[in-house]
């Protein structure tokens, strides 16, 4: 009974605390778990790789986008489902052992409110309360879900003070980031993920704000990424953008930052409309901070306006609103900034997307 109580308690803890517990032999005396490695040369295949990869330590499906209400008012939305192989209880036959966990974040960026509406969920994979499927995208926790239905994705969220039911329709095949889906995150051979995106997703559905249901349309971006060694040594966090450009092209870029704020590694993928995607090397990608905002809740200082160099091009990123801080300490243990941004080039708006910034408070922990 004591062992089951410990495992049930661990299943409700944030991911970073579960990871720390892996080294405690009183909680789980089994040998250390060997997670599947990310190796170059693996060919991503679809539809199989749309589904879960439970042998890896961490995996996420991450959908973000801009929505328009019937009166034209803009909203940002975000849905993220995490699958975590905890490393605990793998030799335990009990259904309640927290071998796999599902965590989820959801948010609406509403300029009229001036801050995020957001909520989170977390549960172990057991008894149907949370789960995932292989072979196609389907992941859920409670009444939240994200799944493929025919040729579209469906996102269903019911949070505190908000909710949404959105259909996301791809305009083409997956965009493979890095070297055909092998995305290096640092100079070391182990620091990598398998990573693809689905840009230019057409969105329609409904959003519920304070009990009022309204129709919305928009454009979204989906990332699916899985890894067992995501952060390079010395990294504190990252800055990432996914941008749907107005001409139908797509841009993904990120940089890993060290504890001193200097970049450890950078990369980008630029895909022209109807053309072939091009991966950019670290020296072709640069992030420059232009303006900061300090959270009144956490005191964390975030750079909310950026100039990003992608090859010979220069993009200016400006937030839909400054306060898009998301506090997920009840699930993943992290506080980070994740929000809708407008993208301009040579003084003209050329696209819209999302900016994610982690590690500006405590070091981010993945898995």
133-165 residue pLDDT tens: 999 999 999 999 999 999 899 999 999 899 999
Cis amide bond preceding 47, omega within 30: yes
- pLDDT interval class at 29 (50, 70, 90): low
Instruction: Say if residues 60 and 225 touch (Cβ distance below 8 Å).
Output: yes
CA dihedral 301, 233, 184, 258 (to 10 degrees): 30
87: pLDDT strictly greater than 80? yes
pLDDT of residue 197: 98
- pLDDT interval class at 81 (50, 70, 90): very high
31: pLDDT strictly greater than 80? no
Tens digits of residue pLDDT in 103-133: 999 999 999 999 999 999 999 998 889 999 9
Q: In terms of C-beta distances under 8 Å and separation of at least 24 residues, what long-range contacts does 154-161 make, across chains too?
A: 155/63, 155/79, 155/205, 157/79, 157/106, 157/119, 158/208, 159/106, 159/117, 159/118, 159/119, 160/117, 160/119, 161/117, 161/209, 161/210
- Cα distance between residue 184 and residue 223, in whole Å: 15
Count other C-beta atoms under 10 Å from residue 93's C-beta. 6
Residue recorded with tokens 């454009």? 219
Instruction: Say if residues 286 and 266 touch (Cβ distance below 8 Å).
Output: yes
Secondary structure element (H or E) that encloses residue 55, with its range: none
3-class secondary structure, 365: coil
Domain ranges of the chain: 2-357
Among 227, 108, 215, 220, residue whose Cα is nearest residue 161: 108
3-class secondary structure, 3: helix
- Considering only 7-21, 151-165, 253-267, 296-310, which range has the smallest mean pLDDT? 7-21
pTM of the full predicted structure?
Answer: 0.89
Tens digits of residue pLDDT in 288-303: 999 999 999 999 999 9
Count other C-beta atoms under 10 Å from residue 113's C-beta. 16
Q: What percent of the chain has pLDDT over 70?
A: 89
9: pLDDT strictly greater than 50? no
What length does the chain have? 367
Q: What is the mean pLDDT of the chain?
A: 89
pLDDT of residue 328: 73
Question: What CATH number matches the domain at 2-357, 2.40.370.10, 2.60.120.200, 3.40.50.720, 2.60.40.3080?
Answer: 2.40.370.10
Tens digits of residue pLDDT in 234-256: 888 999 999 999 999 999 999 99
20: pLDDT strictly greater than 70? no
Across 14-18, 312-316, 358-362, the highest mean pLDDT is recorded for 312-316
- Cα distance between residue 161 and residue 208, in whole Å: 8
3-class secondary structure, 18: helix
363: pLDDT strictly greater than 80? no
pLDDT of residue 37: 95
2: pLDDT strictly greater than 70? no
Spatial CB neighbours of 114, under 8 Å, sequence gap ≥ 6: 321, 323
């Amino acid at each position: 009974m004591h062992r089951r109580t410990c495992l049930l308690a661990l299943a409700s803890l944030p991911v970073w605390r579960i990871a720390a517990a892996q080294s405690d032999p009183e909680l789980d005396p089994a040998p250390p778990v060997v997670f599947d490695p990310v190796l170059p040369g693996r060919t991503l295949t679809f539809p199989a790789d749309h589904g879960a990869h439970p042998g890896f330590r961490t995996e996420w499906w991450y959908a973000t986008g801009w929505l328009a209400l019937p009166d034209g008012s803009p909203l940002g939305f975000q849905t993220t489902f995490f699958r975590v192989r905890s490393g605990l209880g793998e030799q335990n036959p009990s259904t309640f052992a927290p071998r796999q966990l599902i965590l989820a974040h959801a948010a609406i960026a509403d300029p009229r409110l001036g801050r995020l509406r957001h909520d989170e969920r977390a549960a172990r994979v057991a008894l149907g309360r949370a789960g995932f499927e292989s072979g196609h995208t389907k992941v859920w926790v409670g009444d939240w879900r994200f799944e493929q239905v025919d040729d579209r994705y469906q996102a269903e969220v019911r949070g505190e003070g908000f909710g949404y039911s959105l259909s996301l329709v791809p305009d083409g095949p997956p965009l493979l980031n890095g070297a055909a889906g092998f995305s290096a995150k640092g100079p070391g051979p182990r620091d990598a993920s398998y990573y693809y995106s689905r840009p230019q997703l057409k969105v329609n559905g409904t959003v519920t704000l304070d009990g009022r249901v309204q129709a919305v349309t928009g454009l979204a971006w989906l990332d699916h990424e899985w890894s067992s060694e995501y952060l390079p040594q010395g990294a504190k966090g990252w800055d990432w953008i996914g941008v749907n450009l107005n001409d139908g092209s797509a841009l993904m870029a990120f940089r890993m930052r060290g504890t001193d704020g200097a970049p450890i590694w950078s990369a980008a993928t630029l895909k022209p409309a109807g053309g072939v995607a091009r991966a950019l090397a670290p020296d072709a990608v640069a992030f420059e901070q232009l303006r900061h905002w300090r959270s009144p809740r956490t005191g964390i200082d975030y750079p909310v306006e950026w100039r990003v160099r992608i090859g010979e091009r220069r993009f200016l990123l400006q937030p839909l609103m400054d306060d898009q801080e998301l506090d997920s300490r009840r699930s993943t243990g992290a506080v980070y900034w994740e929000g809708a941004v407008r993208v301009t080039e040579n003084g003209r708006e050329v696209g819209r997307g999302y900016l994610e910034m982690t590690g500006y408070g405590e070091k981010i922990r993945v898995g």
